[in-house]
Amino acid sequence: MPLPLHPLPGVFGAEATVDLTAPGNRGLSADLLQALHDHRLLVIPGQHLNHADLLAAAAHFGPVDTHVDRRYAVGGFPGLTTISNITEDGTHVGVYDGDNEEEWHADNSFKPELTRATLLYSVITPAQGGETRFADATRAYADLPAELKERIAHLRAVHSIQQLAQLQSRASGGQSSTAAGSLATHPEVEHPLVLAHPVTGAGSLLLGSMVVKYIVGMDPDESRALLADLLAHTTSSPYVYTHRWRPGDLVVWDNLATLHTASPCDSSRHRRLLYRASVR
């Protein structure tokens, strides 16, 4: 039976109605991967996944990346990271980047090898705020005027975790877990501004509101202006889907075709807990 898919409101994404732990659904890898490449974002609600199930779900999409920040790795489950605003004894239990600032990005763009897909599974959801917003970087690129496409075709941009750490720390009053992390020792990397998807071949804008430092070889003012214009275009409402989390939601995104950001959440009033797996 084909995977039941319903388009999400907006220009991209689909909801899949499937129980990923049902024994009969173990052979769905090809369908799930095809759906991800077709729609760029999959929402799979109503799941009951333990940590092993989440890793098994990730394996449908490719090899799970086990190189995660050790401070927030889930013990005994290499490849799973805790994302949370919860503190225990004054220490954050998961990756936490402050309550207020949006940070549009593609996961791990500060590394030489880009993450291909990310899965986020929600366990505790805030009654208000804490949504994740996704931007369709493929459609946004496709809609650019031809002259602009030509102008940016061969440009490369520098992605810097040092700059990300600095800007997040400033925005969060020193609360960001990136700032404190050993990841801040990664050297800067260059990526194409327009990424050709290795499977679909479609072009996408690889941007980041804090992690992208400058366009290589371009005058700094021109680089800042171009990056700001492209980000504003890509994250404008026609290209954005906002996911309001319910417990048991599994969301999977094509990290080579989309950008995303967490939305503000008041941590003094609302708890948020999700687990993340990334696929290489």
Footprint on this chain of ligand SIN (rule: CB under 6 A)? 83, 107, 118, 132, 260, 262, 276
Comparison of 81 and 204: residue with beta carbon closer to ligand SIN: 81
Residue found under tokens 């090898």: 113
Query: Considering only CA atoms, which of 264, 258, 272, 280 is closest in space to residue 43?
Result: 258
Of the pair 226, 260, the CB lying nearest ligand SIN is at 260
Q: What share of the chain is helix, strand, coil (3-state, %, to 5)?
A: 30, 25, 45
Which phi-psi region, left, alpha or beta, contains residue 242 (left: φ > 0; alpha: ψ -120 to 50)?
Answer: beta
Q: Residue 28 or residue 94: which is nearer to ligand SIN going by CB?
A: 94
Q: Which is nearer to ligand SIN, 68 or 144 (CB)?
A: 68
DSSP three-state, residue 200? coil
For ligand SIN, the closer CB: 139 or 276: 276
Return the amino acid letter for 190: E
Q: What's the Rg (C-alpha) of the chain? A: 18
Q: How far is the CB of 184 from ligand SIN (least distance, A)?
A: 17
CB of 216 to ligand SIN, least distance (A): 25
**Least Å from the CB of residue 32 to ligand SIN:** 19
Give the strand order in the sheet containing 212-215: 189-192, 156-159, 212-215
- For residue 138, the minimal CB distance to ligand SIN (Å) is 19
Q: Residue 133 CB, nearest distance to ligand SIN (Å)?
A: 8
Tokens coding 230 = 């492209």
